[in-house]
Amino acid sequence: MERTIFTDEHTMFRAAVRKFVEKEVAPYHKQWEQAGIVPRELWLKAGEQGFLCMDIPEMYGGGGVPDFRYCVIMTEEFTQANCTGPGFGLHNDVAAPYILKYGTDEQKKRWFPALAKGEKILAIAMTEPSGGSDLANMRTRAVRDGDHYILNGSKTFITNGINADMVIVACKTDTTKTHTGVSLIVVERGMPGFTRGRNLEKIGWHAQDTAELFFEDVHVPVDNRLGEEGHGFFYLMQQLPQERLVIAVGAIAAAQAALDWTIAYCKDREAFGRPIGTFQNSRFKLAEMKTQITIGQVFIDCCITEHNAGNLTATQAAMAKWWATELQQRVVNQCLQLHGGYGCMLEYPIAQAWLDMRWGTIGGGTNEIMKELIGKDMGF
């Protein structure tokens, strides 16, 4: 089924991104997987190509293209190439929007030019060792002291955590309150007391640096606070739907890539004197997956269109994230099964995709939380 949400300009952009991935990313991704991190030089190259902060106004050094479909193309092309290392999506689509929407003009002028060029890398820190989805009860504290906050606490599972030059930290500025006690402050590389723990070893996404962050009496200027004090939780709730849609976009793209690899494999691999794709069980499995992915893609494209128009609801985003990541796991698991023993070999892309898929139902809010959100919207 032809996708109709993209224009000729999007098609040209997709070709440019694909060329970038083929030249600058794919040939080196395996060694980045082994190193556990992507070199900062790649960010500079991406900045030169205009692939960072595309929706940021030109007056702040960005691309000046407020069209989420360009972000979709970036996610799809990197995912379909099985290149999960570069944390551009977190930088562009998850963290930067907080500065764009809640930052002051001075903050935007101070931070965006370097972020758009890839000279500085951005992360956002919500999750803590003591709790995942329970953001209202986080323990990281920031106490006001004149024109500074004194920040203490820790965060974990932070994407871009090792490479990041700037981290948007969700913290408690009023411990007597829950939702209205949370604020967002930007901690910058080199601030005394800000340290990074280990680059966490994961079951997938090995090339993407994921770190523990520690804050011990870090003096952060009040000028680094995003938006109003005590409004941080509500800012998070307003921005999380886009993060969840990004995850859904990647999940559908990963499922499609897995199916494409498997179709090719089933045509080439023979058993009992004929291609394994000609056996009824294989044909039926492939047909089921093709149908499910097509249906899922239509829904995700509908969500993309709604989001571009500013109409995507938190419930729709939760549905997209839940459905797409569950579908991804079913498809990739079945595709690995059709590969037989070779599916367990990391030289085959399906094996790496199987490792990478597992975080999808957990990241961005677990799928159990997604169902809670959907259920509450239904009045339960």
Chain segment 259-282, per-residue pLDDT in tens: 999 999 999 998 899 999 999 999
- For residue 278, is it within any domain? yes
Name the percent of the chain in helix, strand, coil, to the closest 5.
55, 15, 30
Find the length of the chain: 380
Residue carrying structure tokens 């070779």:
342
Q: Is-contact 251 293, C-beta < 8 A?
A: no
What pLDDT shows up at residue 242? 96
Percentage, residues of the chain above pLDDT 90? 96
Residues 98 and 192 in one domain: no
For position 2, what pLDDT does the model report?
86
Q: Alpha-carbon distance 161 to 176, whole Å?
A: 29
**Nearest one of 267, 274, 256 to 338, comparing CA atoms:** 267
Indicate whether 55 and 81 sit together in one domain. Answer: yes
Question: How much is the average pLDDT of 36-65?
Answer: 96
Q: Which among 93, 250, 74, 167 is positioned nearest to 101, based on CA atoms?
A: 93
pLDDT tops 80 at residue 131: no
Same domain, 356 and 239: yes
Does 156 fall in a domain? yes
Classify the C-alpha dihedral 51-54-56-59 as positive or negative: positive
Question: Could you report the per-residue pLDDT of 317-352, keeping only the tens digit for each?
Answer: 999 999 999 999 999 999 999 999 999 999 999 999
Domain region containing 45: 8-120
CA–CA distance, 360 with 8 (Å, rounded to integer)? 31
114-117-118 Cα angle (round to 5): 85
- Pair (226, 241) in one structural domain: no
For the residues 300-322, what does the mean pLDDT come to?
97
Q: What's the pLDDT tens digit per position in 198-226?
A: 999 999 999 999 999 999 999 999 999 99
Domain boundary among 207, 230, 253: 230
Q: What is the pLDDT of residue 149?
A: 98
Give the separation between CA 320 and CA 316, rounded to whole angstroms. 6
Backbone dihedral region for residue 104 (phi beyond 0: left; psi -120 to 50: alpha; all else: beta)? beta
- State CA 114 to chain mean position distance: 21
Residue 327 in domain: yes
Average pLDDT of every residue of the chain = 96
Q: Is 78 within the bounds of a domain? A: yes
Same domain, 257 and 372: yes
Asked if 39 contacts 87 with a C-beta cutoff of 8 angstroms, the reply is no
Instruction: Looking at the structure, tell me whether residues 363 and 239 fall in a common domain.
Output: yes
Tokens at 65, concatenated: 């293209």
Amino acid 165 reads D
Domain containing residue 267: CATH number: 1.20.140.10
Same domain, 264 and 373: yes
Location of structure tokens 């249906």: 295
* List 216, 243, 326, 347, catalytic entry: 243
Domain boundary residue, one of 120, 148, 165: 120
Same domain (yes/no): 179, 84: no
Same domain flag for 172 and 304? no
243 is catalytic: yes
**Number of folded domains in the chain?**
3
pLDDT of residue 42: 98
DSSP state of 278: G
Q: Can you give the pLDDT at residue 132?
A: 67
Average pLDDT of the segment spanning 344-372: 95
CATH number at residue 89: 1.10.540.10
CATH number, residue 149:
2.40.110.10
Mean pLDDT across 1-21: 96
* Same structural domain, 63 and 184: no
Of the three residues 77, 96, 120, the one that is the final residue of a domain is: 120
Residue 25 is which amino acid? V
